[in-house]
Amino acid sequence: MIKYDSISQLVEKAEHRNIKISELVLEDQAAAMEMTTLQLYEKMQLNFEIMRQSVTEGLKPDQKSMSGLTGGEGYKMSEYACGEGEPLCGRQMSKAIARALAVAGCNAAMGKIVAAPTAGSCGILPGCLVTLYEDRGFQEKDIVMSMFTSGAFGMVIANKASLAGAEGGCQAECGSAAAMAAAALTELMGGTPSQCADACAIAIANQMGLVCDPVGGLVEIPCIKRNVSGLMIAFSAADMALAGISSEIPADECIDAMREVGDALPRTLRETAAGGLATTPTGKKLRDKVFKGED
């Protein structure tokens, strides 16, 4: 059994047996959950299917959040991505951005999503994976397998640090999602287990210290757009790792640092809506618009 308390252990075990991290994790989790590898695979396949449904749902032009503060971002970005001019980030990345916005918007609109690892950060992994599936011709089975790698990295982060914004700030939610997605992307592109660890480390380092400051306490502003920054960091971290750029600080130490930084964040910047963007004059005005009107 794997304890999921260090990334280096995952890398060593996979490299020792010359298999992918996803294969190692599928086998281990099947044993731990007393299920067959096929049952586990099919469970994960269903999660990928729901992710694709959330993308479709969130790309609708009339998509609107419960509060009315946000909505339609996915549609706008997708129109722009497929429009006449070439977007700055290129078509593929712009479509990936649209998908991350779509899923995060679907969540805000009370649609069905897969928490990955949380509801607030649910757009990052689908934004990355659906793009490789739809635009880069990757096979569904490889993508579903890569989700086991993501999950394993997430378990290590959960054990060593935290995945909750209320505990560790946004770095724990979107930061963890970006790290998990970076590892999956790296594996899908043929990277080695240690390159997956590098991608994870780089992604965490690049979101270090990100605070959780939701306007009105709602999972909308800035959460929806922060899914996009998480996605961009995931792609760039994976590409750096695949280019052979390693992280000077090992992934496990990055996760430890993230925990330390999370603990040091004041309470006002940990999902309490008592600081950051939430307490800007406009942030407060938006909050009042949603909650004061009804009293």
Structure-token match 């309470």, residue found: 267
**66 part of the interface to another protein, by CB under 8 A:** yes
Phi, psi of 212 (to 5 degrees): -110, 105
Nearer to another protein, 5 or 79 (CB): 5
Q: How many CB atoms lie within 10 A of CB 66?
A: 14
Asked if 63 is part of the footprint of another protein (rule: CB under 8 A), the reply reads no
Site string for another protein, 134-163 (x = CB under 8 A): -------------xx-xxx-xx--xx---x
Q: Rounded CA gap, 84 and 63, in Å?
A: 24
The DSSP letter of residue 217 is G
Distance of closest approach, residue 248 Cβ to another protein, in angstroms: 27
Min separation Cβ 84 and another protein, Å = 33
Residue 133 binds to another protein (criterion: CB under 8 A) = no
Sign, Cα dihedral of 70, 74, 79, 81: positive
Instruction: Please name the residue ranges forming H helices in 173-245.
Output: 176-188, 193-207, 223-242
Q: Which is nearer to another protein, 159 or 192 (CB)?
A: 159
269 binds another protein (CB under 8 A): no
CB contact set of 84 (below 8 Å; sequence gap of 6+): none
CB of 236 closer than 8 Å to CB of 228: no
Write down the least CB distance from residue 245 to another protein, Å: 27
How far, in Å, CA of 217 to CA of 267, rounded?
Answer: 14
Q: Which of 100, 102, 199, 218 binds another protein (CB under 8 A)?
A: 218
Q: Does 130 bind another protein (CB under 8 A)?
A: no
- # residues near another protein by CB under 8 A: 53
Cα angle value 247/251/254 (rounded, 5°):
95
Q: Among residues 7, 93, 113, 265, which is the contact residue for another protein, using CB under 8 A? A: 113
Interface with another protein, residue 267, by CB under 8 A: no
Q: Is 114 in the site for another protein (CB under 8 A)?
A: yes
Which residues, numbered 89-108, are part of the site for another protein (CB under 8 A)? Answer: 106-108
Is 112 a binding residue for another protein by CB under 8 A? The answer is: yes
Contact call for residues 173 and 118 (beta carbons, < 8 A): yes
What SS3 state is found at 270?
Answer: strand
Instruction: State the residues that interact with another protein by CB under 8 A.
Output: 4, 25, 29, 32-33, 40, 43-44, 46-47, 50, 65-67, 69, 106-120, 122, 125, 147-148, 150-152, 154-155, 158-159, 163-164, 166, 180, 216-220, 290-291, 294
